[in-house]
Chain A
Amino acid sequence: METLVSIRNLKVSFRLDRSHSFEAVRGVSFDIPKNATVALVGESGSGKSVTSLAILGLLPRENSIIDPASRIDFDGRNVIELPAADLRGIRGSQISMIFQEPMTSLNPVFTVGYQLTEVLRLHMGMRPAQARKRAIELLDEVGIPDPEYKVNAYPSQMSGGQQQRVMIAMAIACEPKLLIADEPTTALDVTIQKQILDLIAELQRKHQMAVLFITHDLAVVGEIADHVVVMRNGEIREQGPAKRVFENPQDPYTQALLQCRPRLDRRPVRLPVIEDFMDGGAHAMNLTERVRGIATSDPIILDVRKLGKDFYSREGLFGRRKFEAVKDVSFRLPKGKTLGLVGESGSGKTTVGLTLMRLHEASAGEAIFEGRDILAMSQRDFMPYKRRIQIIFQNPYASLNPRFTVGHILTEPMDIHGIGANAQERTELAFELLQKVGLPEVSFYKYPHEFSGGQRQRIAIARCLTMKPDILICDESVSALDVSVQAQVLNLLQDLQDEYKLSYIFISHDLAVVKYISDEIMVMSEGSIVETGNSDEIYRHPRESYTQRLLASIPKGWQGGHA
C-alpha cells in the first residue's frame, strides 16, 4: 500500500521555563497509507494530539522544540522544514482537521454557509455563486437535512451533531488527501457518535482519503480503523493492523486498555486496572461475577413521586415560555443499591439529580426520605438532610475550589455540619478519608491543580464522604476520565458501597458503565422515564425502541468485519 505520510523518530519537547522542558513525544515512527484509516489511541498526556499538530505544523513556535533529526514526510516533502507559506498551502487544501468541540470551532457570528464558502473561495478559488452551490452539495453530502435552508443557519441554531457535520463538510470541502480527526465524537451523545463514525467511514471510502483518527477510546476505533497505533507517555506501545491489535494484543498496556472498559456481557467484582497488566500478573485478577439486581425485599431509602421541574425562558417583552425539563418522574431507591439513570444530553437526567439535592427547586412532586418530603421543607429544615444526600459532579477540574487546599476542601463540610468535636478531630478524619480514597496523606496540604483528573475525582468523593451521606448522586462522575482511571474510580465507588451501604443514583450517558455499576436502570428521554428495569434485564431484552436504539449505538469494539 502506498504511503502518504511517514513519520520517523519524531521528538517534540516543550519549554516550561528557562531551565525545564517537558518531552511530550519521544521518538515516534509510523506511516499513514493512502486510502486507509489509522487510529492513534492513547490516554490524556500520551502525546497523540501533539503528534497530529506536528503533522499540520501547528505546534506553537514560542515554546515547542522539534528534534532536528525528526522527519515528517507528507507526499515526499518534509513538513518540518517547509517554510510557513508552503505549509499554509498544504494545510487547508491537502490536510484538514476536525476538532473535538464543534461548538467552539465554528465562528458563532457567521452563518455556516458563509464559513463553508469562505473555505472554498480561499483554497479552491471559486466564485461566490459557485461556492454557494458547492456548499449546499457538501451539506447534503454530510447528511444535513434541508441543506438549501440550513446553509443560512447560524451554528447556534444547529445541534451538536449537526455542527460536527458542518465541521466535517468544511474539512472535506477541498478534497484533502489526509483528514485528521481529533476526538471528533467525544463531546457527542452515543447515538450521534455512531452516526458521525459511519459518516467518516463512508466519506473516507468515497473520497479515497487517508484518515488519522485520534481517540482515547479503543472501542470507538474498532469499527473504523485499518491500522491502530497505541501511544502512552509519548511513546508508541504497539502498532499494527487493527485485526491483530484487537484480537491478539502483544503489549500489556493495549491489553489493559481493552480490558479496563466495562463490558456489556460481563460484570467482574472489580474492574481490571492498568497496574494489573503492567506487572505481568494479568491472570491473578478476581474475575468472579458480581451479582446485581433489586429484590422486592430491599428497604427503600428514597421514594420519588411524580417529580417535575419546569424552566422558563423570557420571550418578547412580557411573555415566558415554559420548558418542562423533567416530567412526572417516579422511582424508588433501595438502600445500598445503585440506580442507573441513562439518557442523551437534554433528557433531564442531570436536572433530576440537582432537584433532589435542592440545587434546583422542584416544580412538582415529592421525594420521601425517612418519612418526610424533603422537597417541601424550608431550606432551614432541609439543612440536616442536606449532608445525607451528596453529589459528585462531572468535571473534577471545575468542582474543586482552586484557591483552597485539599485539607480546607475536606474540613469545610465538617465545619458547616458540626461533624467532629474540634479542628483536630476533623483533620484526623480528613487524613483517614484521604487514605480511604487512595491518596497520600501529603495531599492534605496541596492544591487541586497539582492533581490529575482521577485524583481530583477521588478528592471530590472524599469530600462527600466527610458528611457520611446515605445517598450519593454521581452525575457523569467518570465520564471525563481516561478509561484506565475510570476503572479505578468505579472500583473505589463499589468498595465504598460495600463498606458503607451507600445508595447511588448513577447518572451517565455511557451505557456500558451504567450497566456495570447499576442494579436497576431508568432510561430517560425528553424529561420522562421511558423504561425502568433490572439492569441485566434491560440490556438483554429492551422493550422500548428508544432503549433499543441507544443500545445499538454502543461502540462494540473489534467486529472483524472489515479491513
Chain B
Amino acid sequence: MANDIALKAPRNSARELPHTVSPGLWALAWRRLKSDHVGVVSLAIVVVFILMMIASGTGLIARDWSKEVGVNYAPPSFIGADIEAGAPAAPAAPAAPTVPASEYKSDVVDPLADVLAELKGEKKPAGAEAPAAGASTAGAGEKSVDPLADVMADIRKDAKEKKAEVAEARLPTLPLGGDKWGRDVLKKTIKGSETSIFVGLAAAAVATFLGTLFGAIAGYYGKWVDDAFNWFYSVFNSIPYLLLILAVAAVLQQKGTLTIILILGLTGWTGTFRLIRGEYLKHKAREYVQAADAIGASNTRRMFVHIFPNVSHVVLVQLSIYTVGFIKAEVILSFLGFGVPVDVVSWGSMLNEAQNELILGKWWQLAAAGTAMAILVTAFSLFTDALRDALDPKLKGLAGA
C-alpha cells in the first residue's frame, strides 16, 4: 500500500530530492488495519479462502470432485467406516469387487436389457453395442425401437465406464465423508467455495459498480437527474426482494453462475446507490470541489478524480458487506433451487442435498458446507468491521495531527 502511494508521487521531477514520501490516507488506513489483530486474522482467513477459490478455479485442486471415489454415503474418516457399514452400503461395498465385471454390468442394466430382449426377440450378447446399433439401423421392423436402442447404447457405455470406476475399489471412508454417490465432500466443499465466493465477489462488484455510478450521477447532478434516479430506485425498492429475484430469474430463463451474478448484481445496487448519492450530495458542496471547478476541472473530472477518492472508502466497505450478503444470497437461492445448475456444485446446492441426507442421519455434507460458509462469512464480516474502523474518516483528524 505504501508503495502504491509512492508511485503516485511524480517520479519525473528534475531534482532528486532526498525526500521521504509521506503516507497518504490509504497508507494510514492500512497501518491502522494492521494494528487491529482481529482484522488481520480475519483478513488472513478471507485470503486463504480466496486462494482456495483461485486454486480450484484454475484446476489445481478439487478438479475431480465429481468422481465417485467413496462408497455411497461414505462417513468421514475420523468417525470410521463401522457406523455407516451397518445397513445399506455393507452388502454393496464388498459386492462390488467380488462380482465379475460383466455380470455386475448386466445386473445394472437388467430391466432395460429385458425390454430390449423382448423387443428384439433375442438374447442380447453382453457388451456388444456395435451390433445392436447396427441392427437397429438395419432392420426395418426394428426402426420403431430406434430411439430406445440409442438410449440403450448410451446406458451401456455409461455402465461400462462405471464398471471401470467401480473396478477401482471404492473407499469405505473419506476425509470429510461422501455424498449420496460417494463423491468426496471435502472436494465438493472446495469446489463449492469456488462457485460461492466467485458469485459473491462478482455480484458484489456488479452491484457496487452500478450503485456507485448511479449514486454519483444522481448526487452530483442533482435536480431532475436525481429525481429520475430516485423514482427508479423507489419503484425498484417497492417490489419485495425475493419476488424481484424470481422475476429476473424467470426473465433470464437459464440457470448458470452468470445468471446468478446478474440477478444479485442487478437487484442489489440500491443500498450503495442511496449511500453514495448522499456522499456526493455532501461532497459536491465542499470547497475543494468548488476549487476544482474554479481551476476548470470538468464535471466528469470532479466526479471521479476529485470526489471519488474521497468516498472510495464507503464503496470499499459496501463491496465487503455485499460480498458477505451475496455469498449468503447465493446459498439461499441455490437452496431454493433458483441457483446454480445441477452440474455445478455450490454450498447452497450442497445444503439442498443435505436436506434429504439428514433424514438418513448423514450430517457431514451439511456440516462441511455449513462450517465453511460460517467461517468465511464471519471472517469477512469481521474484516469488514476492521476495514470500516480503519477507513473511518472521523479518525482522519487524529491521524493528521
Contact = CB atoms under 8 A, between A and B. Distances in A.
Contact of A402 (B9, B290, B295, B310): B310
Given A383-B296, A402-B25, A412-B297, A424 B291 contact: no
Interface stretch (A110-118, A258-266, A439-447, A544-552): A439-447
Contacts of B10: 407, 411, 423, 427, 444
Nearest to B293: A359
Given A423-B10, A442-B19, A447-B25, A413 B293 contact: no
Contact of B295 (A427, A445, A467): A467
A449 B396 contact: yes
Contacts of B287: 393-395, 398-399
Contacts, number: 104
A386 interface: yes
A445 B292 contact: no
Contacts of B306: 401
Given A359-B293, A403-B309, A442 B25 contact: no
A458 interface: no
A441 B17 contact: yes
A395 B286 CA distance: 10
B12 A424 contact: yes
Interface string B106-140: 00000000000000000000000000000000000
A408 interface: yes
Contact of A398 (B15, B21, B24, B288): B288
A342 B130 CA distance: 103
A399 B24 CA distance: 17
A387 interface: yes
A93 to B, nearest CB: 33
A400 B9 contact: no
A326 interface: no
A136 interface: no
A450 B20 CA distance: 13
Contact of B12 (A393, A403, A423): A423
A210 B362 CA distance: 80
B360 interface: no
Interface in A379-426: 383, 386-387, 390-391, 393-395, 398-405, 407-408, 411-413, 416-417, 423-424
A391 B13 CA distance: 28
A383 B294 CA distance: 10
B19 to A, nearest CB: 5
Given A401-B292, A402-B396, A427 B297 contact: no
Given A399-B287, A427-B14, A431-B13, A417 B22 contact: no
B24 A416 contact: no
A428 interface: yes
A390 B400 CA distance: 28
A407 B291 contact: no
B125 to A, nearest CB: 79
B295 A416 contact: yes
Contacts of B295: 386-387, 390, 412-413, 416-417, 463, 467
B296 A413 contact: yes
Nearest to A393: B287
Contacts of B9: 405, 407, 444-445
Contact of B291 (A393, A405, A427, A431): A393
Interface residues of A, number: 43
Interface string B1-35: 00000001110111101011110110000000000
Interface in B256-292: 286-288, 290-292
A399 B15 contact: no
Interface in A279-307: none
Given A431-B13, A450-B22, A398 B286 contact: yes
A460 interface: yes
A467 B306 CA distance: 19
Contact of B19 (A16, A403, A413, A445): A445
Contacts of A395: 287
A188 interface: no
A105 to B, nearest CB: 19
A357 interface: yes
A400 B289 CA distance: 9
Given A403-B25, A413-B296, A359 B13 contact: no
B375 interface: no
B291 A460 contact: yes
Interface string A10-29: 00000010000000000000
B15 to A, nearest CB: 7
B290 A393 contact: yes
Contacts of A401: 288, 291-292, 306, 309-310
Contacts of B21: 445
Contacts of A383: 296
B296 A403 contact: no
Interface in A424-466: 424, 427-428, 431, 441-442, 444-447, 449-450, 460, 463
Given A399-B287, A401-B310, A447-B24, A408 B15 contact: no
A547 to B, nearest CB: 30
B399 interface: yes
Given A407-B9, A427-B10, A446-B22, A416 B296 contact: yes
A359 B294 CA distance: 7
Interface string B357-401: 000000000000000000000000000000000000000101111
B400 A449 contact: yes
A408 B8 contact: yes
Nearest to A411: B10
B18 to A, nearest CB: 9
A411 B14 CA distance: 14
A460 B291 CA distance: 9
A375 to B, nearest CB: 16
A395 B291 CA distance: 11
A387 to B, nearest CB: 6
B245 to A, nearest CB: 37
A442 B290 CA distance: 27
Contact of B288 (A400, A427, A442, A445): A400
Contacts of B301: 416
Contact of A428 (B14, B24, B25, B294): B14
Contact of A441 (B15, B22, B24, B309): B15
A449 B296 contact: no
Interface string A245-279: 00000000000000000000000000000000000
12 contacts: A390-B295, A399-B287, A405-B8, A408-B8, A427-B10, A427-B13, A444-B17, A445-B9, A445-B22, A447-B22, A450-B22, A450-B400
Interface of B: 8-10, 12-15, 17, 19-22, 24-25, 286-288, 290-297, 301, 306, 309-310, 396, 398-401
Given A417-B296, A445-B17, 15 more contacts: A390-B294, A390-B295, A398-B288, A401-B292, A402-B310, A403-B24, A403-B310, A405-B8, A413-B295, A444-B10, A444-B19, A445-B9, A446-B22, A447-B24, A447-B25
Closest 10 CB pairs of A and B: A449-B400, A403-B309, A413-B295, A399-B287, A398-B287, A401-B288, A446-B22, A386-B296, A393-B287, A445-B9
